[in-house]
């Protein structure tokens, strides 16, 4: 009876975020990001500029209506109001290029000015008992207000504007009905159309806000990934310097001292100690180079590479690492091997630095076209929420690995084990699979 794989044993009672993605940040959180706030402000300014352009077109419509078809009563008053409204809209267009950030929040209040102008003109134009088409034409101007409100990044503010617009539209249409004798059924149908436009504007505002939030979240994640890349490079340089200084360099210095003793001829065992020191220095250098660019990954495959990686980590950390490669065919080569190896290295690095663990199980498996790396430790235990907090603090080494796996259709899940410790599972579907026939020569043997 075959032993079940580590992945199947961990799958029972597995929890966490199924998508493996950090939650999308809202505009309130993103505005605190210095480099992201500029993106959000640019989108908000673009919305304000669209508003003033649409409002200017609305003022042209109003002015043309009262000039080409003036009402029978109060024509002069209507023309003056239309001209003042056009001047006000023109001033808004000129001021849009110099608008301050603090004024963006209150730009939506101008929509109530649009409503007030249309209501005043329609009321005045409807006072005459004579047949007049002025009010009937001006009523159509209410259709533009939901379009202007849709440029808002705040759906609640948009709803606060368009709901009164629908009510005022119905009342204005009722007033315009008196001189024109328009049927109530037609007024009801036109009001329904405006209500649909109002609902659509709120939905468009919601979609626009969601898109801006998504863009801001991606930009924030990109900025953090770039910062983390720099920190990872600095950490790798520092770790490399420590490995060389505390490992191979010490043996080289020791060999140099033994050479002085060998020259004097006073110690017959000095050359043997020199040979031992140089051999150990060579071994440590090969181990360090193997972590940086594992040639064994190309020659021996992922199973051999992670075995060497575990041995290298054990030498410099108080850990016992057991490696299980039974589920990985020895002749299997995939295009995802370098990515899975880098993920295993990052997971082991996190165990050494943060888990406070004593034992680690490292397993590589290939099952039904899916390549999988599993790292289980008995440390303090972390889960997705802990990782999210670390991401917020700028520690996104695992997140960068997760993003690369997801780009290939894979995933990285981290869960807290019920008995203590952490289980991390990285998996990716494999398309290009190659196999090399086993030879009688061990690719890991030294010449």
pLDDT per position as a tens digit, 292-337: 555 667 777 888 888 888 888 888 788 899 999 999 988 888 888 8
Instruction: Examine the domain organization and report whether 86 and 203 are in the same domain.
Output: yes
405: domain CATH number? 3.30.565.10
In a domain? residue 231: no
Angle between the 75-96 and 110-125 helix axes, to the nearest 10 degrees? Answer: 160
Number of H helices, E strands in the chain: 17, 7
Instruction: Supply the pLDDT for residue 364.
Output: 93
In a domain? residue 444: no
Where is pLDDT greater, at 447 or 39? 39
For residues 162 and 143, give the distance between their C-alpha atoms in angstroms, rounded to a whole number: 10
Instruction: Examine the domain organization and report whether 39 and 170 are in the same domain.
Output: yes
Secondary structure letter of residue 331 according to DSSP: T
Q: For residue 313, what are its two tokens? A: 């980590």
In a domain? residue 203: yes
For residues 122 and 183, give the distance between their C-alpha atoms in angstroms, rounded to a whole number: 18
Count CB atoms within 10 A of the CB of residue 332.
18
Q: For residue 436, what are its two tokens? A: 């090399």
In a domain? residue 370: yes
Where is the domain boundary, 224, 239, 255?
A: 224
Secondary structure letter of residue 268 according to DSSP: T
Q: What is the DSSP string of 346-378?
A: HHHHHIIIII--SEEEEEEEEETTEEEEEEEE-
Instruction: Examine the domain organization and report whether 40 and 180 are in the same domain.
Output: yes
User: Dihedrals φ, ψ of 320, to 5°?
Assistant: -110, 115
Tokens 């020259």 identify what position?
Answer: 263
For residues 223 and 219, give the distance between their C-alpha atoms in angstroms, rounded to a whole number: 6
In a domain? residue 252: no
Q: What pLDDT band is residue 339 in, cutting at 50, 70 and 90?
A: confident
**Predicted confidence (pLDDT) per residue in 174-209, tens digit:** 776 655 566 788 888 888 988 898 898 889 888 888
CA-based nearest residue to 371, from 309, 425, 417, 305? 425
Where is the domain boundary, 224, 254, 284?
A: 224
In a domain? residue 186: yes
Where is pLDDT greater, at 15 or 338? 338
Indicate the pairing of strand 320-324 with strand 359-367: parallel
Please, which residues have CB within 8 angstroms of residue 237's CB and are 6 or more apart in sequence?
none
**Mean pLDDT, range 243-266, rounded to an integer:** 69
Residues 303 and 328: beta-carbon distance below 8 Å: yes
**Predicted confidence (pLDDT) per residue in 259-295, tens digit:** 776 776 666 677 777 777 777 777 667 666 655 555 6
CA-based nearest residue to 328, from 371, 358, 295? 371
Instruction: Supply the pLDDT for residue 437.
Output: 36
Instruction: Examine the domain organization and report whether 323 and 418 are in the same domain.
Output: yes
Q: What pLDDT band is residue 396 in, cutting at 50, 70 and 90?
A: low
Print the domain residue range for 373.
297-429
**Predicted confidence (pLDDT) per residue in 373-388, tens digit:** 999 999 887 766 666 6
Residues 361 and 306: beta-carbon distance below 8 Å: no
Whether residue 398 is predicted with pLDDT greater than 80 in this model: the reply is no
Whether residue 1 is predicted with pLDDT greater than 60 in this model: the reply is no
Tokens 């239309």 identify what position?
Answer: 82
Instruction: Examine the domain organization and report whether 192 and 49 are in the same domain.
Output: yes
Where is the domain boundary, 195, 224, 253?
A: 224
Instruction: Examine the domain organization and report whether 211 and 327 are in the same domain.
Output: no
User: Dihedrals φ, ψ of 244, to 5°?
Assistant: -70, -40
Specify the number of domains making up the chain: 2
**Mean pLDDT, range 328-347, rounded to an integer:** 87
Tell me the three state secondary structure of residue 438. coil
How far is residue 443 CA from its own chain's centroid? Answer: 42
Counting Cβ atoms within 10 Å, is residue 77 exposed (0-12), middle (13-18) or buried (19+)? middle
CA-based nearest residue to 14, from 403, 378, 429, 376? 376
Mean pLDDT of the chain: 76
pTM of the model: 0.47
């Amino acid at each position: 009876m075959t032993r079940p794989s580590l992945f199947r044993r961990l799958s029972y009672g597995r929890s966490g975020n199924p998508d493996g993605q950090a939650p999308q940040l809202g505009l309130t959180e993103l505005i605190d990001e210095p480099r992201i706030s500029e993106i959000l402000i640019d989108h908000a300014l673009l919305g304000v500029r669209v508003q003033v352009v649409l409002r200017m077109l609305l003022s042209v419509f109003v002015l043309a209506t009262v000039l080409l078809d003036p009402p029978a009563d109060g024509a002069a008053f209507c023309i003056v109001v239309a001209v003042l409204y056009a001047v006000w809209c023109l001033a808004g267009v000129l001021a849009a290029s110099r608008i301050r950030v603090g004024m963006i929040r209150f730009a939506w209040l101008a929509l109530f000015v649009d409503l007030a102008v249309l209501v005043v003109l329609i009321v005045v134009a409807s006072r005459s008992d004579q047949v007049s088409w002025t009010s009937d034409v001006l009523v159509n101007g209410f259709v533009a207000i939901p379009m202007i409100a849709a440029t808002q990044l705040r759906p609640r503010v948009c709803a606060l504007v368009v709901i009164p617009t629908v009510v005022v539209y119905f009342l204005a249409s009722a007033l315009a009905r008196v001189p024109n004798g328009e049927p109530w059924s037609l007024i009801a149908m036109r009001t329904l159309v405006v209500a649909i436009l109002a609902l659509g504007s709120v939905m468009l505002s919601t979609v626009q806000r969601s898109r801006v939030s998504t863009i801001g979240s991606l930009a924030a994640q990109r900025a953090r990934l770039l910062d983390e890349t720099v920190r990872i490079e600095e950490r790798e340089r520092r770790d490399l310097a420590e490995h060389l200084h505390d490992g191979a360099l010490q043996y080289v210095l020791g060999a140099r001292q033994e050479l002085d003793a060998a020259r004097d001829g006073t110690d017959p065992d000095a050359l043997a100690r020199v040979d031992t020191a140089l051999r150990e220095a060579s071994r440590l250098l090969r181990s360090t180079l193997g972590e940086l660019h594992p040639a064994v990954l190309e020659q021996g495959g992922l199973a051999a590479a992670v075995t060497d990686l575990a041995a290298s980590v054990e030498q410099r950390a108080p850990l016992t690492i057991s490696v299980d490669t039974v589920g990985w065919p020895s002749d299997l080569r995939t295009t995802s091997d370098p990515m899975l190896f880098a993920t295993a290295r990052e997971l082991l690095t996190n165990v050494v630095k943060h888990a406070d663990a004593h034992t680690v199980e490292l397993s590589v498996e290939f099952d039904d076209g899916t390549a999988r790396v599993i790292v289980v430790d008995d440390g303090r235990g972390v889960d997705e929420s802990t990782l999210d907090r670390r991401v917020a603090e700028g520690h996104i080494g695992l997140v960068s690995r997760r993003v690369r796996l997801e780009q290939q259709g894979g995933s990285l899940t981290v869960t807290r084990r019920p008995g203590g410790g952490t289980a991390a599972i990285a998996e990716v579907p494999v398309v290009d699979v190659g196999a090399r026939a086993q030879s009688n020569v061990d690719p890991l043997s030294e010449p």
